Amino acid sequence: MPERRKTVLREVLAESQSLGTYDMGETIEGLARKLGKEPSEILKLNSNENFFVPLDFLRSALREVAKEVDPRIYPRDELGELKEALVRYVNVSPEHIVIGTGSDQLIDLVTRMVLEPGDEALSIAPTFSIYERCVRIQRALYRSVPLRGDFSLDTERILGSVTPKTKLLFICSPNNPTANQFSRGDIELLADQFDGLVAVDEAYVDFSNGSLVDLVNDVGNLIIFRTFSKVFGLAGLRLGCAIANPELTKVIDERYQMPYTVTITAVKVALKLLDKIGTIEKSIREMKSERNRLTERLNMLIGVHAFKSETNFVLVQLERNSDEVYKALLEKGVIVRNLGTVLHLDNCLRVTVAPRPMMAKFSAALKGALIDVA
């Protein structure tokens, strides 16, 4: 290999060491092997997946799609069909919508579109780690402003942190991991006062009190990300969309989005689910009911505080050491997210809300884990 290539490769490898990795946590199969259990015995509650959408319902849609599609052909007209179907769900016209491979891909695309090396992006802390990852890959500076103690936005401090190099502001609402939705007025204020692009990640908005999509026509620097991974239960198919004013979405679609990004299977399944939206709406109601029940039950346990949630997960603070409780839960075949410190709160876990039998198993395991580490 010529020395020039070796040098470039060494530089790329060396620079990559400064980038963080995304910790996906334990897997079902991996933990089952460690414990000598069957995968079906493992309870996976660490990735905010939606277990309320019936699996038979999703598999039926997949079987129908498998019979209908020709996988040898790139999807084209189907993307337009999906945009038309989304009109009824998100209440905007097709020109406002860009389809992508999950919201993560669209977040990365917009970051690359807006930022150049040396530019800056702002966000909040704590929040979803993908924003920082995307910004740093662009060799731009990522800075964050802590939430207030009540998990609300510190709008004054955010705006005071803007510099001439700040071009992008990320807000996850409802936020991961604090599970709360931010004030509509606060986000409108930020969009009005900030000259750059305001990117609002609404991955969990279907489980909350309402979206900001109605603002995209009047607020030209607002872009909203939505995903099919959460509310539709399609995390394994990778599908999402961005919603913004038509001038911006046209540029994204025609100039920045790669052709044929999404699979025809994902698009066709999404169309079938949107056509049977009643099943999805029923699953949302069931999730909210179980979320309330789980929060109440957790708050009855000594040494446990579960915060109010507007997502499909619950943030929990323990009086016990969260590292030890996390390990004790793993020994019982239960995977949650060990967050550690969240703002001023130590010993925090995040747990996905799941149907009642799964939550009963989790509650029993948590009680046992708390006893084990006492």
Degrees, nearest 5: CA angle 296-302-307: 40
In a domain, 11, yes or no: no
Tell me, yes or no, whether 69 and 215 share the same domain: yes
CATH of the domain at 337: 3.90.1150.10
Which of residues 252, 275, 298 is at a domain's end? Answer: 275
The helix (H) or strand (E) run that includes residue 13 is helix 3-16
CATH of the domain at 233: 3.40.640.10
Tell me, yes or no, whether 258 and 327 share the same domain: no
Amino acid at site 46: N
Q: Judge whether 214 and 184 are in contact, CB under 8 Å.
A: no
In a domain, 5, yes or no: no
In a domain, 3, yes or no: no
Total domain count, the chain = 2
Dump strand ranges (E) for the chain: 43-44, 97-100, 120-125, 141-146, 166-172, 197-201, 222-227, 240-243, 304-306, 313-318, 334-335, 337-342, 345-352
In a domain, 8, yes or no: no
Tell me if the bond preceding 126 is cis, omega within 30° of 0.
yes
Residuewise pLDDT in 10s, the chain (374 residues): 566 657 877 878 877 877 777 777 899 999 999 999 999 999 999 999 999 999 999 999 999 999 999 999 999 899 999 999 999 999 999 999 999 999 999 999 999 999 999 999 999 999 999 999 999 999 999 999 999 999 999 999 999 999 999 999 999 999 999 999 999 999 999 999 999 999 999 999 999 999 999 999 999 999 999 999 999 999 999 999 999 999 999 999 999 999 999 999 999 999 999 999 999 999 999 999 999 999 999 999 999 999 999 999 999 999 999 999 999 999 999 999 999 999 999 999 999 999 999 999 999 999 999 999 98
Prediction pTM value = 0.95
In a domain, 327, yes or no: yes
Tell me, yes or no, whether 253 and 306 share the same domain: no
Tell me, yes or no, whether 155 and 246 share the same domain: yes
Q: How far apart are CA 51 and CA 277, in angstroms?
A: 16
Tell me, yes or no, whether 270 and 298 share the same domain: no
Residue numbers of the domain that contains 264 = 55-275
Residues 6+ positions from 355 with CB-CB distance below 8 Å = 51, 52, 286, 290
Tell me, yes or no, whether 121 and 61 share the same domain: yes
Tell me, yes or no, whether 299 and 166 share the same domain: no
Residues 6+ positions from 290 with CB-CB distance below 8 Å = 52, 353, 354, 355, 356, 359
Q: How far apart are CA 225 and CA 277, in angstroms?
A: 20
